[in-house]
Amino acid sequence: MRLRATLGALALRLDGGESPEEIAAALEGAPEMPLEVEVAGATAGEAVAALLEAAAARGLEVRFRPQRGERRVLHTEVVDHTLRSGMRVDSAGTVVVLGDVNAGAEVVAGGDVIVVGALRGLAHAGAEGNEHATIWALELAAKQLRIAGHVAVSPDEAPAARGPERARVEQGQIVIERWGRRRSGA
């Protein structure tokens, strides 16, 4: 087991065979930062449970990441119909909806959310913490957008739709910008 502080988190590598007591002891004096966990060897369920309990007791956010050297190949999921109220799509990759996402419907993606239609429901891009994820829609009329851990809520009297728009994180906030128009000098 190895625990070290990185720029934005504590990196914990479990090599396998760690006891619940060893994990709890390692986290006991650690700084209060999000915890990124890499499981590099066979680890008992009790050890993982101890890790989660110790982190929860200290209020630490826990993120599991792939083992170094392994790359997760994320897929793109295409939904070829409108999502109606009560429908939900969850994907570790990017989600493309060929239709509308109506109010009361949800799209949760580890990557980008792309709606070829009107987005009136909830969209959560970068659900696994990817702040580089974006939300694209031909008509962006959602009451709430989420990208990674950031949330944007539409004002009560939102302006009329302005055509295709993109939402992304910039300097810790979700910004919405027009998309598809050429800029002068570009």
Mean pLDDT of 96-114: 95
Domain count, the chain: 2
Check whether residue 40 and residue 129 sit in a common domain: no
Check whether residue 99 and residue 153 sit in a common domain: yes
Check whether residue 80 and residue 101 sit in a common domain: yes
Residues 6 or more apart whose CB falls under 8 angstroms from that of 77 comprise: 89, 91, 93, 94, 95, 96, 109
Q: Which domain holds residue 154?
A: 76-178
- Would you say residue 73 has pLDDT above 60? no
Confidence (pLDDT) at 158:
62
d(CA 87, CA 101): 9
- Would you say residue 186 has pLDDT above 50? no
pTM over 0.85: no
Check whether residue 85 and residue 6 sit in a common domain: no
Which domain-ending residue is among 65, 86, 109?
A: 65
- pLDDT band of residue 100 (cuts 50, 70, 90) is very high
Check whether residue 38 and residue 96 sit in a common domain: no
